Chain A
Amino acid sequence: MSNSESIKRKVTPERIMLVTFLVVSAVFIIEPVIESYPDDARVFPQLTASAVFIGSLLLLLQNYLPGPLQKFVAESVSITTSDSSEVIDQVDDDDELEELDEPEEEYKKDTLGAKYGYEVNETVFMVSTAVLYFVVGWAAGFLFITPLYILGYTLWFRINPVISVGLAVGGTVVIYLFMTYLVLPFDQGHVFDFSPLVPMLFDGAPILLRGGL
């Protein structure tokens, strides 16, 4: 196994998460010192951040800890299990770490991408589209982006187009109700402002329907 492969295997999502915890908790410890927070604003976050920092460090370095401490860090205990011999050696080798990161159930859904030879992990697709929906919704207004998001998502998974359109209309109505009854600016984007279109699209719809009938 080459060095790069070995490093790749050691960089697991859990380790990335623990390093993130370490960095964030370090910031929570240092920031009050730099910014001279008063005691009543400083002590509690520093105490909790210290607990996160120490705990994350122990978890990250558990393979290199002395016996009893390693046992304390890795051991899985419960009120009903008192036998301390039940140690979970889940971090003894990297293969097991890899196993822990395997999804519980692998299942490939029939997607539009697969039809054209693009295989995208479903979870990655879900998160990417959700992030994109947030960013574009913030920029151009959720009212206008919601139907596109729902249509895009459902059509990717090859849902019946009629159902997709129905769901997109339903989602847009939900956002419109939020906007109207809770007075939320979902029609206004921070970069593009399509709000002048709202009266035409929504208030005009009943008129158009009446005209049509």
Chain B
Amino acid sequence: MAVDAFFEGLSIATTPEMLVWLTLGLLLGIVLGALPGIGSPVGMAIVLPLTLPLDATAAIILLVAIYSGAMFGGSISAILINAPGTESAAATTLDGYPMSQNGLAKNALAIATTASALNGFLAAIALILLSPVLIEVVLAFGSPEYFLLAILGISLITIVTQGSIVKGLVAGALGFMISTIGTAILSPRPRYTFGQFGLYEGIDFVAALIGMFAFAEMMKLAARKQISEGNVELAGSVRDGITTIFRYPVTTLKSGLIGMGIGMVPGSGATTSTFVAYAEEARSSTKDGRFGEGDPRGVIAPEAANNPTVSGSLIPTLSFGIPGSGSTAVLLGGILMHGLQPGPVLFGEQLQITYALFISLFLGNVLILAVGLTLIPYASKITELNTTLIIPMVVVLSYAGAYTLNQNWWDVGAVIVLGVLGFYMVRNNYSIIAFVLGIVLGPIAEENFFRSLQISGGEYTIFFDPINRPLSFLLTLAIFLILFGPFLKGRVKRLVSRN
């Protein structure tokens, strides 16, 4: 079955139509990723409603291509102007910008392109090879486990983002709460609509994503100075940059593995993986490393880790519906908006779509290499764009996109309200990823919560029964340990030292 689905996926992914969406998505991703303050979540959130007329596979391929392209695009502004286009490119600034100042901008950009594409390419192959194992794992999950996974995802995001646990939980629960506005899932009862017919369908999660990512980011961008105020000089050699990668094969492969491994952990994104890869490279090269002064390994490590993180993060997103970052949260929104269900369906009857997506990722990385290397001489042009021109266009597209979803003005209003809320949440260290995850997963979590209670006859023990539902028990235990482990550890340590 998996082999048939693979070949069906291959035929879908290689149709001219899909290749056009893939190329378009990559180009758009590279440009959006290169604009500090825009990045992949904003770009994907704006494009999301525009994919409504598209076929589900084409829409998801377009979104993944934007994501993948933005991962590389983010490094352009990181290297040229020391302002990472995406958070995941922040680690690239550490040595990429000094390389640029040392007259090696082209080398650094070529290193970023080659490392990003090469490892993205290898990670996509690994993803295809891993999928038969994933199918078995996904099929072992039932309603209680899916509900617990949603809670686990929010708990993990809270921990990985290194903020206050209570703030993260409040953000996640608030997302769940907002998702309950509108007609109830299991009975035709309107909830919290206060007589407003426009609220019967609830707040569309895509509108929430647009508000939280696009509108909130524009608020941040409004107070920022122009992306690049001077002319950026592009010196160095592209060819030397490419050959540098092959001088450090261990760094490249090790960083790729770190990227994919961290990407697989729900709640952790490329920001974490790139810094871990950079730190590991700096640690293992203490003898001859000149990190922070333009060491090429300081560019290879984060760039070789970022695209495998995309592949890695697709695993929890597609198999369990738990996104690892803002971009995968938007991707999950796209999957649900197009009527696809993460989990058993995407790894069962719709396995060919999943394979088409993996193959597109593989092809996308080949394209990144070709497009990226061609773009290098023109890369500085992107960084010269004035932010004041971006803001009104993003606002116009956000409103039009939100209205397109259901032709409901409440969705447009939600973009503004949730945008302002997102802005203040970020400024006060509340995880907007947890909030967004709550909104996107709310209906799934509620449905599985009730199904579980129906199965157990209303008994909550179904969520922590070690004999009949060991998987549920393990998930509950994991949630408990994640939330309270760090505090209990300290107490246990003190008790042990006292005794």
Minimum C-beta distance from A153 to chain B (A): 4
- Kindly list chain B residues whose C-beta atoms are within 8 Å of the C-beta of A159: 386, 388-389
- A44 x B450 contact (CB < 8 A): yes
- Whether A197 is near chain B, meaning CB under 8 Å from some CB there, is no
Instruction: Give Cα A134–Cα B389 distance, bound, in whole angstroms.
Output: 19
Contact partner of B174 (CB less than 8 A), chosen from A31, A52, A78, A154, is A52
Minimum C-beta distance from B183 to chain A (A): 9
- A174 x B427 contact (CB < 8 A): no
Chain A residue nearest in CB terms to B445: A44
Instruction: Give Cα A41–Cα B161 distance, bound, in whole angstroms.
Output: 32
- A163 x B166 contact (CB < 8 A): no
- A55 x B160 contact (CB < 8 A): no
**In the complex, how many residues of chain B place their beta carbon closer than 8 angstroms to a beta carbon of chain A?**
68
- B166 x A59 contact (CB < 8 A): yes
- Kindly list chain B residues whose C-beta atoms are within 8 Å of the C-beta of A170: 393
Instruction: Give Cα A100–Cα B428 distance, bound, in whole angstroms.
Output: 7
- Kindly list chain A residues whose C-beta atoms are within 8 Å of the C-beta of B388: 109, 153-154, 157, 159
- Whether A165 is near chain B, meaning CB under 8 Å from some CB there, is no
Minimum C-beta distance from A55 to chain B (A): 4
Which DSSP category, helix, strand, loop or mixed, fits chain A's interface?
Answer: helix
Minimum C-beta distance from A60 to chain B (A): 11
- Kindly list chain A residues whose C-beta atoms are within 8 Å of the C-beta of B222: 122-123, 125-126
Instruction: Give Cα A199–Cα B219 distance, bound, in whole angstroms.
Output: 36
Instruction: Give Cα A41–Cα B184 distance, bound, in whole angstroms.
Output: 6
- Kindly list chain A residues whose C-beta atoms are within 8 Å of the C-beta of B177: 24-25, 28, 45, 48-49, 52
Which residues from 363 to 415 on chain B have a C-beta closer than 8 Å to any C-beta of chain A? Answer: 386, 388-389, 391-393, 395-397, 399-400, 403-404, 407, 409, 412-413
- Whether A144 is near chain B, meaning CB under 8 Å from some CB there, is no
Which residues from 89 to 148 on chain A have a C-beta closer than 8 Å to any C-beta of chain B? Answer: 100-101, 103, 105-107, 109, 121-123, 125-127, 130-131, 133-134, 137-138, 142, 146
- Kindly list chain A residues whose C-beta atoms are within 8 Å of the C-beta of B391: 126, 153
Which residues from 163 to 179 on chain A have a C-beta closer than 8 Å to any C-beta of chain B? Answer: 163, 167, 170-171, 174-175, 178
- A72 x B400 contact (CB < 8 A): no
- Whether B249 is near chain A, meaning CB under 8 Å from some CB there, is no
Contact partner of B428 (CB less than 8 A), chosen from A17, A24, A182, is A17
- Kindly list chain B residues whose C-beta atoms are within 8 Å of the C-beta of A107: 223-225
Contact partner of A59 (CB less than 8 A), chosen from B170, B180, B487, is B170
Which residues from 134 to 184 on chain B have a C-beta closer than 8 Å to any C-beta of chain A? Answer: 159-167, 169-170, 173-174, 176-177, 180, 184
Instruction: Give Cα A170–Cα B396 distance, bound, in whole angstroms.
Output: 11
Minimum C-beta distance from B131 to chain A (A): 26
- Kindly list chain B residues whose C-beta atoms are within 8 Å of the C-beta of A149: 392, 395-396
- Kindly list chain A residues whose C-beta atoms are within 8 Å of the C-beta of B180: 28, 44-45, 48
- B487 x A72 contact (CB < 8 A): yes
- Kindly list chain B residues whose C-beta atoms are within 8 Å of the C-beta of A203: none
- Whether B421 is near chain A, meaning CB under 8 Å from some CB there, is yes
- B427 x A100 contact (CB < 8 A): yes
- B162 x A78 contact (CB < 8 A): yes
- Other A-B pairs beyond A171-B392, A175-B400, 9, CB < 8 Å: A17-B425, A21-B170, A41-B184, A41-B189, A48-B173, A55-B166, A109-B388, A150-B393, A184-B404
20 contacting pairs across A/B (C-beta < 8 A): A14-B424, A17-B424, A31-B191, A38-B189, A41-B184, A44-B180, A78-B159, A78-B160, A82-B485, A84-B489, A88-B164, A121-B223, A127-B219, A134-B416, A149-B392, A154-B392, A174-B396, A181-B53, A186-B400, A186-B403
Interface positions of B (Cβ within 8 A of A): 52-53, 159-167, 169-170, 173-174, 176-177, 180, 184, 186-187, 189, 191-192, 215, 218-220, 222-225, 386, 388-389, 391-393, 395-397, 399-400, 403-404, 407, 409, 412-413, 416, 420-421, 423-425, 427-428, 438, 445-446, 449-450, 482, 485-487, 489-490
